[in-house]
Amino acid sequence: MKYVGKPTPRVEDDVILRGRATYVDDIEPPGVLYAGFVRSPYPHARVIKVDLTDVVVAKGVVAVFSSEPPFALGGKVRYQGEAVAMVLARDRYLLQDALEKAVVEYEPLPPVLDMYEAMKPGAPLVDESLGTNVVYDKTYEGGDAALRGAVVIEGRLSVRRVIPSAMEPRGVVAVYDGNMLTIWTSTQVPFDVKKEVASALNLPLSSVRVIQPYVGGAFGSKVLVYPEEIYVAAAAYRLTTAVKWTATRSEDFKTTTHGRAMDLEYKVGVSKDGRVETIEGVIYADAGAYYWGEGLVDTAARMLTGPYDVKYARVRAVAVLTNKTPLGAYRGAGRPEATFFIERIMDRVADELGLDPVEVRKKNLIKQLPHTNPFGITYDTGNYIATFEKALEKLGYFKLKKWAEEEWEKNKRMIGVGFSTYVEITTFGHETVIMRVERDGSVTVYTALAPHGQGLATALAQIVAEELEIPMERVRVVWGDTAHVPDGVGTMGSRSITAGGSAAILAVRQMKSKLAEAAAEVLKCQPEYKEGVFHCGGKSVELRDVVKHMYKKRIQPIVEVTYRAEATFPFGVHIAVVEIDPETGFVKPLIYKSYDDVGVVVNPLLAAGQIHGGALQGISQALYEEAIYDNAGNLITQNLALYPLPTAVEAPVFEVHFAEEFHPSKHPTGTKGVGEIAAIAAPPAVVNAVEDAVRKTSRARFCKTPITPEEIYNAIWKIAPPLC
């Protein structure tokens, strides 16, 4: 392999690092109008009247839009920050002044902010038309119900609400020139935006073009089509002009979907030697004001048994509306919750039965793959036991444990070592690639994927260069424009390299046979292909000459391939080492190590980058981040001064390994997704490490993320050690 498997730096880096990348906010069409939104300060209120009289006449204002008459008829706002009117102005600063002139009369209603309160009879209803706040309730059951463990352990676990916090807030620019509606948006799903806008404005799909420029991160939070994308497009269309909106940080924190916010109530049946035979439970998701995060709670439920051979499981998946920002996908989207739950359960089982957590894992890990879990999900390839054992050895788990013990005995340093193991479900849906060989033999690859930091243009170019045996510099990947490719899903669910890369491999193969036919005509014999040259009968012809021949014959050197990708299942082990300051309860992450079987690794440098970023997000979920609302429904953590995102200072030393004896997926790439694994594996590893450190003085068990310094302090000093 010349390119695949090599740690190639990103082709995107030079553009990004030198500030030449175009983001939505860099786009300034001539005469653009700036859009701003009048947003509700209340989490729950009836909108009595939206008075924009003073706004209309304010300096610089060109147009106003509001939802009256529906609001006048009793419309409601359901979370703080929900839009009630849109204002367009010629200048950003005048826009802010004008927005302040809006007079909205609200009748505040009691908000419901806690999902358990929301489920009680008589609770305020977020959406009266539903007659309940329980917006989703489904039970999954499977396996052999006759099996019961000798020991029953019950408990409750919680993964609190977090804010995805992409560096670039959401933004959208729309231009309608009387013929074509063109939209630039910070999204993961350009094709969905195109479909939704076309349908909302009753336009033919062919009249709407969506361009995804460079996107400064998304982490799942830009996977939906948001109201602002429709509003801005609609305004541009109505006025035949250019309109632009960029969220402020606080606006973004309040209106971009939040993540996690799930609890599990569980009961497990375990044999005396630590085999988890049965799992029963209910997962509750705090869905926020609108049920946008469909499928999240189902994924958490259906992956709850993790990489373990649990014989029977019954899980109820419940989503509850509250007056908070809607819940949506955040890196892992259901799998981090499932993994946190099952890993904490495994540690609890070990703790209750006085067993080694490593032994409990070995006893319960699935022994043979493929394996169908109780809910019918079939894990494809892997050897969990072998990979688990190899991982502990390679990562030096037992050595780290010993070192932590010595540091405590010699120096009274409170160092904890924790691990987690996981199986993840990645990849789904179809993806299309259009490939063209240019007249000089270089290649342009158009993909419907929508990368936003992963380095896909590099990884795809590696795959195409490898398969077509040409230098990587001669492959250009073009993404993020609905005008280039008919349809596609976008970038999410760690699917891009597997779905898009496989489409690209198949496209190269088709292209090769097309080229070979033309080369046979030129050479007058059946040629062999090697490194950009066709050979036979002692003669040869280069790619570019074959292409020239094709053009002469009016044959297009273009292929289009749509590949439908089934799910693949990475497996791995992650280790976290932390140090606690007993005086403050503050945790310093020291080391983070990972060992993952993700099938073929296309670019170890980029894949490691994915682990670094995901792990830091997972560490942060475990130790720092929580979206906090006050009792009145105000988002307290509404900017980066109040919401503690981790920085390089909090980052531990990373050591990333990919399994040498990996198990390829069944896709042409042989890959499994990498993008989310560390965000999935890190929280239980970190909580396990904190618990390990605290155990030097007290028997505490932590059951939620984040664990605060106060909780840790109270545990260490036996003031209130949590035992869940």
Residue ranges in contact with ligand MCN by CB under 6 A: 166, 217-220, 331, 451-456, 459, 491-498, 598-603, 606-607, 610, 613, 671-676
Nearest to 575 by CA among 706, 403, 356, 398: 398
Q: Please, what is the minimum distance in Å from the beta carbon of residue 186 to ligand MCN?
A: 11
Instruction: Please enumerate in sequence order all residues whose Cβ is within 8 A of that of 120, keeping only pairs 6 or more positions apart, or say none.
Output: none
Q: Count the alpha carbons within 13 Å of 188 in the hemisphere toward its beta carbon.
A: 21
Which backbone phi and psi does 470 adopt, to 5 degrees? -125, 165
Q: Please, what is the minimum distance in Å from the beta carbon of residue 427 to ligand MCN?
A: 7
Contact 259, 288 (CB under 8 A): no
Closest to ligand MCN by CB, 488 or 527: 488
CA dist 238 and 225 (Å) reads 20
Q: Please, what is the minimum distance in Å from the beta carbon of residue 647 to ligand MCN?
A: 16
Closest to ligand MCN by CB, 455 or 683: 455
Q: Please, what is the minimum distance in Å from the beta carbon of residue 528 to ligand MCN?
A: 30
Closest to ligand MCN by CB, 38 or 465: 465
Closest to ligand MCN by CB, 504 or 602: 602
Closest to ligand MCN by CB, 646 or 709: 646
Q: Please, what is the minimum distance in Å from the beta carbon of residue 193 to ligand MCN?
A: 17
Closest to ligand MCN by CB, 601 or 690: 601
Contact 459, 391 (CB under 8 A): no
Structure tokens given for 588: 């310093």
Residue 709, preceding bond cis, omega within 30 degrees? no
Three-state secondary structure of 476-509: EEECCECCCCCCCCCCCCCCHHHHHHHHHHHHHH
Closest to ligand MCN by CB, 523 or 602: 602
Q: Please, what is the minimum distance in Å from the beta carbon of residue 369 to ligand MCN?
A: 18
57-60 LR contacts (CB < 8 Å, sep 24+): 58/89, 58/94, 58/97, 58/98, 58/101, 59/94, 59/97, 59/98, 60/89, 60/90, 60/91, 60/94, 60/95, 60/97, 60/98
Burial letters for 618-636: b for 16+ Cβ neighbours within 10 Å, e otherwise? bbbbbbbbbbebeeebebe
Closest to ligand MCN by CB, 99 or 489: 489
Q: Please, what is the minimum distance in Å from the beta carbon of residue 480 to ligand MCN?
A: 13
Q: Please, what is the minimum distance in Å from the beta carbon of residue 402 to ligand MCN?
A: 33
Closest to ligand MCN by CB, 106 or 219: 219
Contact 160, 261 (CB under 8 A): yes
Contact 150, 179 (CB under 8 A): no
Q: Please, what is the minimum distance in Å from the beta carbon of residue 328 to ligand MCN?
A: 11
Q: Please, what is the minimum distance in Å from the beta carbon of residue 166 to ligand MCN?
A: 6
Amino acid at 182: T
Specify which residues 159 forms β-bridges with.
262, 705
Q: What is the DSSP letter of 533?
A: E
What are the DSSP calls for 248-317, one per residue? -HHHHHHHSPBEEEEEEEEEEEE-TTS-EEEEEEEEEEEEESS---TTHHHHHHHTTTTTB--SEEEEEE
Give the containing element (helix H, strand E) for 586. Answer: strand 586-597
Q: Please, what is the minimum distance in Å from the beta carbon of residue 300 to ligand MCN?
A: 16
Q: Please, what is the minimum distance in Å from the beta carbon of residue 21 to ligand MCN?
A: 13
Three-state secondary structure of 540-578: EEEHHHHHHHHHHCCCCCEEEEEEECCCECCEEEEEEEE
CA dist 459 and 463 (Å) reads 6
Q: Please, what is the minimum distance in Å from the beta carbon of residue 171 to ligand MCN?
A: 15
CA dist 135 and 287 (Å) reads 8
Contact 350, 356 (CB under 8 A): yes
Closest to ligand MCN by CB, 20 or 718: 20
Contact 670, 81 (CB under 8 A): no
Q: Please, what is the minimum distance in Å from the beta carbon of residue 510 to ligand MCN?
A: 22
Closest to ligand MCN by CB, 19 or 31: 19
Measured in whole angstroms, the distance separating CA 326 from the mean position of its chain's CA atoms is 16
Closest to ligand MCN by CB, 219 or 629: 219
Q: Please, what is the minimum distance in Å from the beta carbon of residue 638 to ligand MCN?
A: 21
Closest to ligand MCN by CB, 497 or 707: 497
Closest to ligand MCN by CB, 305 or 491: 491
Closest to ligand MCN by CB, 166 or 693: 166
Closest to ligand MCN by CB, 61 or 218: 218
Q: What is the DSSP letter of 205?
A: G
What is the strand order of the sheet 151-162 is part of? 134-143, 312-321, 276-288, 259-270, 151-162, 704-705
Instruction: Please enumerate in sequence order all residues whose Cβ is within 8 A of that of 97, keeping only pairs 6 or more positions apart, or say none.
Output: 58, 59, 60
Contact 480, 445 (CB under 8 A): no
Give the containing element (helix H, strand E) for 48. Answer: strand 45-51
Q: Please, what is the minimum distance in Å from the beta carbon of residue 614 to ligand MCN?
A: 7
